[in-house]
C-alpha cells in the first residue's frame, strides 16, 4: 500500500504542499494502477473540510500524553482517496485560517499526535500489509518517530518542500508516549532521517542543490541538516500548476511571428482588471492600499507579484525596494501586489502600504484574496515578479500559462523554469535608448481595444534574443554561474533572472539578519534590511531586470518570442506524469 502523509492538502491549504498534493497522488494512482492514499489531519475549523462528504472507515485509540484518545478515520474519494484523522478531542488540529494557525507548541504537539495516529491507522486498515509512506516535511515525519523501535515498520520516504524543522527533546517524546532512544537527534527531521529510506526527495533538482550549497539554506536556515542530506538528496521536479489560458489562435499567431493578437488579448485582460478596480468597494475585510482613482491607466509596463507572505522566503520587501527605486527615477511602470498575509498579519507588510501612499499613480496593494480581478491582472501584466529568497519550485509556470513572462531570482525551481534573456550580443539598443523608445510608446493613442491601455505593436526586432550555441553572453556573473549548470547554451531565452553579487564580505551576517527579521513583523522588515549590502544588491539586480523587461515590453515581437519559448520550455520539461514516474521508481517497489 502506497500512501502520502501530509499535514495540509487541497482541502486544507496553506502553501505549495497543498498544490502538489492536489495533483501528484492522482497521477501516481493512475500510473501505478492502484490508489495512492493520502493520510491527513481533519482540521475541523477549516470550511473546506467541514462541508466535505466523508465516510467512516475505521476507528483507533491513540495512546498519547498518558491517555488514550479515540480517533475516527474518515474517507473521501477523489482522484486519490483521502483518509482524515479526526480525534475526539477538539483541541487537536484547531487552526482557523490554515492548518498551521496555532502556537508553535501546539503545532509540535498536534504533529506528534498525527504521527502516532497514522502509525496506529495503517495497522488497523490493512493488518499485516506492507506500507510505503511518503512523508511530507517535518509535520508528517513524526510518523517515523512514532514507529521508532518497532520491529515491523513501514517503508518511509521523506520529501522536503522547505528546510523548516523543529527541536524536540527526549523528554518531550517520552511524555508523548514515543521512544526517543530509538530515534536519536535534536530535531524532528534529524530523528526521522535515521529511520527513512534513501533517497530524500525535494520538489526540484535545483532546490536539492540549494539545500546543501546555498548559504541561506546550508548555513543559516538548516545547518544541522546539510551534512545529513548531502549524499541522500534527489530532486524530482513538480509538474505545472495550472492550465494554459492563452487562446490557441493567439498562440498560433505568436508562433508565426504575428504578436498583434497577443497584444490585443493582453490589452483586454488588463482592461478587465481595471474594470474590476472600478467595481471594488474597499472595506475592513477588503482593504486596498493605494489610490484606485489615481492609479495610472496608461501603456507603461505592469508588474505583478502574488502569493502568501513569508518574511524568510517570498521577497515582497525586495520587490518593494526595486519598485521604489524605479519610480523615484520617474521611470514608466506600475506595480500591483497581491500579498496573502501570514500569521504576522498586515503589520508585516506595512512597507507596501507606505510604498502605495508614496506612489499613488504607480502602486496598488491588495492584502486580501482579490478574486474578482486577480486572474485578469495576472494575464494582463507585462511581467510577474518572483524575488524569492529561496524557492523550492515556484510559480513561474503559473505566470507563463496565463500569458505573462516571468522575472525571478536565480534560485531553486525558478532557475529551472526561466531561461534568461540578455541585452548584450543581441543588437538591442542601450538602456537610455530603450527608455526613450518606451516613452514614445506610452504616447501612442490608438488601440484595437476601446479604453484599454496602449501597448506597442509594430517595432522592428533588432536581433535574436539569443543565438543558438552562443551561450548566455552578458549575464551578470552570479546569474551566469547558476544558469550554466541548468540550461543548455542553445536554449531559447524565456524571461529574466537576477541574483545578488556572490561573495559579499557580509553575506552570512546579512542572511542571518534577514532570517531574524523574517520571523516577526517588528522591527519593520523593510527598514531592518534596507541597509544590508546583500539586500541592496538584491534590489539593484532586480532593477536591472525591470529595465531589461521594459526594453522587451516595447517590442511585442520579442515579448511574444519569450512567452512562446517559455511555454514550450515548461511544457517540455515539467510534467506530473514524469514526477509520478520518478517517485514510483524509488518508492513503488
Hey, how many other C-beta atoms are within 10 angstroms of the C-beta on 256? Answer: 10
The domain that holds 212 is classified in CATH as: 3.40.50.2000
Whether residue 430 has pLDDT greater than 90: no
Phi, psi of 416 (to 5 degrees): -75, -35
Confidence of residue 453 (pLDDT cuts 50, 70, 90): very low
Whether residue 210 has pLDDT greater than 90: yes
Q: Are 223 and 363 in the same domain?
A: no
pLDDT at residue 425 in the model: 35
The CA distance from 317 to 539, in Å, is 9
pLDDT at residue 40 in the model: 98
Give me the torsion for CA of 59, 86, 164, 240, rounded to 10°. 100
| CA–CA distances in Å: residue 409 to residues 52, 413, 510 | 39, 10, 17
Domain that holds residue 440: 248-573
pLDDT at residue 370 in the model: 86
Confidence of residue 312 (pLDDT cuts 50, 70, 90): very high
SS3 495: strand
Q: Are 216 and 267 in the same domain?
A: no
Q: Are 155 and 179 in the same domain?
A: yes
504 contacts 533 by C-beta, under 8 angstroms: yes
Among 210-224, 375-389, 422-436, 491-505, the range scoring the smallest mean pLDDT is 422-436
107 contacts 100 by C-beta, under 8 angstroms: yes
Q: Are 355 and 432 in the same domain?
A: yes
Q: Are 81 and 229 in the same domain?
A: yes
pLDDT at residue 432 in the model: 43
Q: Are 583 and 434 in the same domain?
A: no
Q: Are 218 and 256 in the same domain?
A: no
Tell me how far apart the 2 most distant CA atoms of the chain are, in Å. 76
Mean pLDDT score across all residues of the chain: 90
pLDDT at residue 79 in the model: 85
Kind and range of the H or E run holding 201: strand 200-202
The CA distance from 44 to 71, in Å, is 13
Whether residue 446 has pLDDT greater than 50: no
Confidence of residue 426 (pLDDT cuts 50, 70, 90): very low
Among 189-193, 469-473, 483-487, the range scoring the smallest mean pLDDT is 469-473
- H/E/C letters for each residue in 112-172? HHHHHHHHHHHHHHCCCCCCEEEEEHHHHHHHHHHHCCCCCCCEEEEEECCCCCCECCHHH
Q: Are 165 and 132 in the same domain?
A: yes
Q: Are 96 and 228 in the same domain?
A: yes
Residue 308 corresponds to which cell in the numbers above?
502568501
pLDDT mean over 19-45: 95
> How do residues 155-176 score in pLDDT, each as one tens digit?
999 999 999 999 999 999 999 9
> How do residues 333-346 score in pLDDT, each as one tens digit?
999 999 998 878 88
546 contacts 324 by C-beta, under 8 angstroms: no
Q: From start to end of 218-340, where are the E strands?
A: 233-235, 302-308, 334-340
How many structural domains are present in the chain?
2
- H/E/C letters for each residue in 428-462? CCCHHHHHHHHHHHHCCCCCCCCCCCCCCCCCCCC
Q: Are 222 and 255 in the same domain?
A: no
pLDDT at residue 50 in the model: 86
Q: Are 216 and 283 in the same domain?
A: no
Whether residue 445 has pLDDT greater than 70: no
pLDDT at residue 442 in the model: 40
Site of grid cell 506530473:
576
Q: Are 426 and 554 in the same domain?
A: yes
Share of the chain above pLDDT 90, in %: 82
Confidence of residue 589 (pLDDT cuts 50, 70, 90): low
| Parallel, antiparallel or unpaired: strands 200-202 and 233-235 | parallel
Among 257-266, 463-472, 561-570, the range scoring the smallest mean pLDDT is 463-472
> How do residues 513-524 score in pLDDT, each as one tens digit?
999 987 766 668
Amino acid at each position: 500500500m502506497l500512501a502520502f502523509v501530509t499535514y495540509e492538502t487541497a482541502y486544507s491549504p496553506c502553501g505549495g504542499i497543498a498544490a502538489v498534493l492536489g495533483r501528484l497522488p492522482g497521477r501516481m494512482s493512475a500510473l501505478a494502477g492502484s490508489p495512492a492514499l493520502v493520510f491527513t489531519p481533519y482540521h475541523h475549523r477549516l470550511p473546506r473540510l467541514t462541508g466535505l462528504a466523508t465516510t467512516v472507515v475505521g476507528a483507533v485509540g491513540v495512546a498519547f500524553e498518558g491517555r488514550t484518545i479515540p480517533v475516527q478515520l474518515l474517507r473521501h474519494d477523489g482522484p486519490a482517496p483521502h483518509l482524515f484523522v479526526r480525534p475526539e478531542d477538539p483541541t487537536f488540529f484547531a487552526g482557523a485560517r490554515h492548518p498551521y494557525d496555532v502556537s508553535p507548541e501546539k503545532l509540535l504537539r498536534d504533529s506528534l499526535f498525527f504521527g502516532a495516529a497514522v502509525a496506529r491507522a495503517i495497522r488497523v486498515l490493512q493488518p499485516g500489509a506492507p506500507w510505503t509512506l511518503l512523508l511530507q516535511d517535518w509535520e508528517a515525519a513524526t510518523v517515523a518517530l512514532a514507529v521508532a523501535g518497532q520491529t515491523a515498520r513501514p517503508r518511509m520516504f521523506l520529501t522536503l518542500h522547505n528546510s523548516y524543522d523543529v527541536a524536540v527533546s527526549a523528554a518531550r517524546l517520552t511524555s508523548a508516549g514515543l521512544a526517543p532512544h530509538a530515534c536519536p537527534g535534536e530535531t524532528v527531521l534529524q530523528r526521522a532521517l535515521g529511520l527513512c529510506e534513501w533517497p530524500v526527495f525535494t520538489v526540484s533538482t535545483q532546490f536539492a542543490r540549494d539545500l546543501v550549497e546555498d548559504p541561506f539554506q546550508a548555513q543559516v536556515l538548516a545547518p544541522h541538516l546539510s551534512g545529513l542530506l548531502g549524499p541522500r538528496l534527489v530532486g524530482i521536479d513538480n509538474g505545472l500548476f495550472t492550465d494554459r489560458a492563452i487562446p490557441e489562435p493567439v498562440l498560433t499567431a505568436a508562433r508565426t511571428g504575428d504578436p498583434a493578437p497577443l497584444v490585443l488579448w493582453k490589452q483586454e485582460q488588463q482592461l478587465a482588471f481595471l474594470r474590476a478596480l472600478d467595481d471594488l468597494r474597499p472595506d475592513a475585510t477588503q482593504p486596498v492600499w493605494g489610490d484606485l482613482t489615481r492609479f495610472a491607466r496608461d501603456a507603461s509596463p505592469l508588474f505583478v507579484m502574488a502569493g502568501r507572505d513569508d518574511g524568510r522566503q517570498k521577497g515582497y520587501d525586495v520587490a518593494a525596494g526595486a519598485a521604489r527605486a524605479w519610480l523615484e527615477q520617474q521611470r514608466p511602470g506600475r506595480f500591483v501586489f497581491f500579498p496573502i498575509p501570514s500569521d504576522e498579519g498586515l503589520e508585516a507588510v506595512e512597507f507596501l502600504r507606505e510604498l502605495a501612499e508614496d506612489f499613488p499613480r504607480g502602486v496598488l496593494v491588495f492584502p486580501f484574496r482579490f478574486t474578482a480581478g486577480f486572474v485578469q491582472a495576472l494575464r494582463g501584466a507585462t511581467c510577474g515578479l518572483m524575488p524569492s529568497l529561496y524557492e523550492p519550485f515556484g510559480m513561474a509556470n503559473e505566470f507563463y500559462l496565463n500569458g505573462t513572462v516571468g522575472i525571478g531570482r536565480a534560485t531553486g525551481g525558478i532557475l529551472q523554469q526561466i531561461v534568461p534573456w540578455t541585452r548584450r550580443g543581441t543588437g538591442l539598443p542601450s538602456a537610455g535608448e530603450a527608455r526613450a523608445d518606451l516613452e514614445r510608446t506610452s504616447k501612442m493613442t490608438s488601440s484595437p481595444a476601446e479604453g484599454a491601455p496602449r501597448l506597442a505593436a509594430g517595432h522592428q526586432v533588432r536581433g535574436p534574443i539569443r543565438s543558438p550555441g552562443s551561450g548566455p553572453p552578458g549575464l551578470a556573473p552570479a546569474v551566469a554561474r547558476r544558469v550554466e549548470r541548468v540550461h543548455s547554451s542553445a536554449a531559447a531565452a524565456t524571461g529574466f533572472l537576477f541574483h545578488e553579487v556572490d561573495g559579499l564580505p557580509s553575506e552570512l551576517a546579512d542572511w542571518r539578519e534577514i532570517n531574524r527579521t523574517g520571523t516577526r513583523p517588528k522591527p519593520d522588515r523593510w527598514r531592518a534590511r534596507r541597509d544590508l549590502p546583500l539586500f541592496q544588491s538584491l534590489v539593484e539586480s532586480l532593477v536591472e531586470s525591470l529595465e531589461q523587461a521594459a526594453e522587451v515590453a516595447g517590442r511585442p515581437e520579442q515579448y511574444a518570442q519569450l512567452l512562446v519559448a517559455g511555454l514550450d520550455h515548461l511544457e517540455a520539461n515539467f510534467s506530473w506524469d514524469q514526477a509520478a514516474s520518478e517517485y514510483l521508481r524509488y518508492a513503488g517497489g
